[in-house]
Amino acid sequence: MATEFIMPKLGLTMEEGTILEWLVPSGANITPGTAVLRIETDKVESDVESVGGGILHQIADVGSTHACGAVIGYLLAEGEAPPAAARPAAPAASAPSPAAPANTAPSASAPTAVARTGGRMFVSPNARRVAAELGVDLNTVAGTGPNGRIVSEDVEAASRRPAPSRPTVTTPIATGSSSSSGVLATAAARQLADLLGIDLGAVPADPSDGRVSRDAVAAYVRQRLAAGASKSPDTALAPAAQTPTSMKRMSGMRGTIAKRMHSSLQQMAQLTLTMDADLDPVIADRAGREGDAVVPGFTDYVLAAAARALRAHPIVNSQVTDDGIALLPDVHVGLAVALDEGLVVPVVRNADRIDLVTLAQETKRLATAARSGSLALGDLEGGTFSVSALGMFGVDAFTPVINPPNTAILGVGRLRDDLVLGPKGKVSSVKRLTLSLTWDHRVFDGAPAAQFCRSIVEFLADPASVDRPA
């Protein structure tokens, strides 16, 4: 019996994956543990290994995106045929349709019949997404992909094609509304449209026979609901003010960041405070480490100080759940790393329990792996707090956005020279940087936030304190 090969769920936050490459061709005999394909999630690229053996039969295309658990292939026994749902469906036997008039020639621009398998439309998930974005009814799109599958290029081509004219009847149908009475439609389509109050005149007809089907009515309703949920009149975006030089789709990592950050700002009561930290003690400590194999960076000191402060202020090391505010026992600090395509936040686990050199080695490993695309999923999960540094770009202070489900994030500004007035009016300089703490006001108030940030400043004033594991 055929075994389904599904899109795996590689982490708690993974919702879908995009196929980057099939590493094994369709028809190859594979064994358990064989790396079958490479996928991209919202966080990393990863090879997917087979948990079973058999002859691989692919049904999903490179570049297509699928929800976790979706079937993307099958493992077959020798001589076994793939399930019917994995092959083009044979034309269903039905009553012959009325013959077209002899003088009616098919339109060159009209689409052919939509490919269906097992009674369902044969269309890639990415094509569905593009269709929703462009407002294209998939019932009017002809598939050109493998086995007649509708791909995103077909949808884009359909969006540029004039809509076919709809045949109408000359006599009203009593069961339809006044605006739907002149539309050819199946009885099931009229019944559903009447039940939902849908104008059949707005529903695209099946180009093969010019009638509106029940499936088309259902698809039209789903499309309207999805459009209303994703783009209400209050949130609809204005068109480009000029003809763009190019367009970059907000998908993959960029799309995930946009969705998560927007959701973060909508769901939390985020505020930001700033506080200066004197770094002269840290600079002196680093100077004493010259010649060592590993010399921690300034961000390493801040991250270590934040980890100790999280242990001292457990309310900050928390997350909001349905049951209330969960105080988390382990301190796992994420470090934001900027990439060309977006931002990733690998996690230093148990950051409060390791010494400064070990922490510096771990942050270097994570940053290198992030930039080379070799982070493991375990490197990205479980963070309880985040640190984001923009000082290297000359930024003094900024407003970092909390990375859900955390309740706070710390921003690190540039190291600068400040003048201070000492005893007897003596002026001296000091190295400082600004810390920007954003926190969720639902979880704790301004005073605890300030106390937490003050603890970080105090730890930085005593570098030996952050070099001792908790």
* Site of tokens 């493998």: 146
Helix axes 152-159, 125-134, angle to 10 degrees: 20
Question: Between vectors from CA 435 to CA 432 and to CA 436, what angle results, nearest 5°?
Answer: 150
* Site of tokens 């900027």: 338
Whole-number Å distance between alpha carbons of 328 and 413: 28
Helices (H), 242-323: 252-267, 280-287, 298-312
Output the pLDDT for position 296: 95
Per-residue pLDDT of the chain (470 residues; tens, 9 = 90+): 788 898 887 765 677 888 888 999 988 999 988 889 988 876 677 888 888 889 999 999 888 888 888 899 999 988 888 887 554 333 333 333 344 343 433 343 444 444 444 444 566 666 777 777 777 877 778 777 655 668 777 888 888 766 554 444 333 333 334 445 567 888 778 877 877 778 888 888 887 777 888 888 888 887 777 665 555 445 567 787 888 888 877 666 677 777 778 878 888 999 999 999 999 999 999 999 998 999 999 999 999 999 999 999 999 999 999 889 999 999 999 999 988 777 889 999 999 999 999 999 999 999 999 888 888 878 888 999 999 999 999 999 999 999 989 999 999 999 999 988 888 888 989 999 999 999 999 999 999 999 999 999 999 999 999 887 76
Output the pLDDT for position 191: 76
The residues near 186 (Cβ < 8 Å, ≥ 6 apart) are 211, 212, 213, 214
Residue 63 — φ and ψ, nearest 5°?
95, -10
- The first and second tokens of residue 107, run together, are 């339109």
Cα dihedral 428, 429, 430, 434 in deg (nearest 10): 120
Query: Residues 457, 466: contact at Cβ < 8 Å?
Result: no
SS3 278: strand
Task: Say which amino acid occupies 340.
Answer: D
CA-CA distances (angstroms) from residue 131 to 63, 109, 153, 199, 200?
A: 16, 19, 10, 21, 20
Exposed e or buried b for every residue in 22-40, given b needs 16+ CB within 10 A?
A: bebeeeeebeeebebbbbb
Whole-number Å distance between alpha carbons of 358 and 74: 45
Output the pLDDT for position 353: 95
Output the pLDDT for position 94: 37
| 30, β-bridge pairs | 54
* Site of tokens 């790393």: 337
Q: How many Cβ atoms sit within 10 Å of the Cβ of residue 230? A: 11
pTM of the entire predicted model: 0.57
Output the pLDDT for position 324: 92
Query: Residues 304, 456: contact at Cβ < 8 Å?
Result: no
**Ordered domains of the chain (ranges, CATH):** 3-86 (2.40.50.100), 166-229 (4.10.320.10), 253-466 (3.30.559.10)
As a whole number of Å, the CA-based R_g of the chain is 30
